[in-house]
Amino acid sequence: MPTFADLDRRSILDFQDRMRPDLAAATTVEDAAQGLVAALCTEFPTGIVLARTFLTLPLARLPDDLRRAVWASVEDHTHPAALGPTTPVLTLLSTYGREVDWCDRRRSRSHAAIPLSSRRFVDSIPMVARMLHEMGIDLGLGPTEDPHVDRLLGAGWVGLFHVEDARSARDERGRRIIPADDFVERHGVRSVFGLGKAYGDGSIVSVVVFATAILPRATVEAMVPIVNQFKAQTLELMHRGAIFR
């Protein structure tokens, strides 16, 4: 079985070639995203515990089930959050992993829709706060009709989030960046990484992977073409608003 240690330019190109027809056939961004995470886990069955994609969207563009998840997320936290139609929401678009419940976004209990409503609220979720910080995404860059994310980050921007060892990595306040101790220990999670791309309307897609090996940053950087391809092949779907099934 291939591992992340086998990653090179040829293996990335081969993976992209295998993904190209599936992405082209997708009728929604959700379908394309589910195909991507499933392919990653199939390609590296011994190396990935869980792979997910998230998409930032304004609250008003979410379907009813995800709007309810947003309100549930707010109610579950001690920090208040003011919500409005334009509040950007980190939305779980697809998920695939070693357990059945991890292969359907609708079964997610706590990560289905996280409102990026204030710095204080986001900072109460260490992994999300670190991911946004490392990717250079400011909370002021919420999706609006003005494509200011594209203007500030650049069309070629790629956000990179990298936790080399989930067992020991802590933020500046001493909190574990990946706080789910039981999940990390039971499934042997070591490195966690994410890659993000911005669409012209300000929405940002992020692919997040929980891996079983210690991965250097260079290995994560080698996977940038995969997220670039995903964005390129879903641009038309985003333009048409064909996001959810």
Q: Determine, yes or no, domain membership for 145.
A: yes
Would 94 be classed as within a structural domain? yes
156-169 pLDDT per residue, tens: 788 899 999 998 88
Phi/psi for 140 (5° steps) reads -75, -10
Token reading at 43: 């390609």
Judge whether 221 lies within some domain: yes
| Full residue range of the structural domain in which residue 109 is found | 4-238
243 is a domain residue: no
Our count of domains for the chain comes to: 1
**What six digits make up the tokens of 58?**
């304004």
pLDDT (0 to 100) of residue 147 = 32
Q: Rounded to two decimals, what is the model's pTM?
A: 0.88
Residue 151, pLDDT score: 39
Report which of 216, 193, 221 is spatially closest to residue 130, judged by C-alpha positions: 193
Report pLDDT digits (tens) over 198-235: 998 889 999 999 999 999 999 999 999 999 999 999 99
pLDDT at 153 over 70: no
Does residue 180 lie within any of the structural domains?
yes
Residue 9 reports pLDDT greater than 90: no
Which amino acid, one-letter code, is at 149?
V
User: What confidence category does residue 142 fall into, taking pLDDT thresholds of 50, 70 and 90?
Assistant: very low
245: in domain: no
CATH code for the domain in which residue 122 is found: 3.30.450.40
Q: Is residue 151 part of a domain?
A: yes
How many other C-beta atoms lie within 10 A of the C-beta of residue 157?
Answer: 16
> What does the pLDDT average to over 25-47?
93
Q: What pLDDT does 4 receive?
A: 72
Which regions of the chain does DSSP assign to beta strands (E)? 48-58, 88-97, 113-115, 159-163, 192-198, 204-211
The string of pLDDT tens digits covering residues 70-126 is: 888 777 665 556 788 888 899 999 999 999 999 999 988 778 998 888 778 788 888
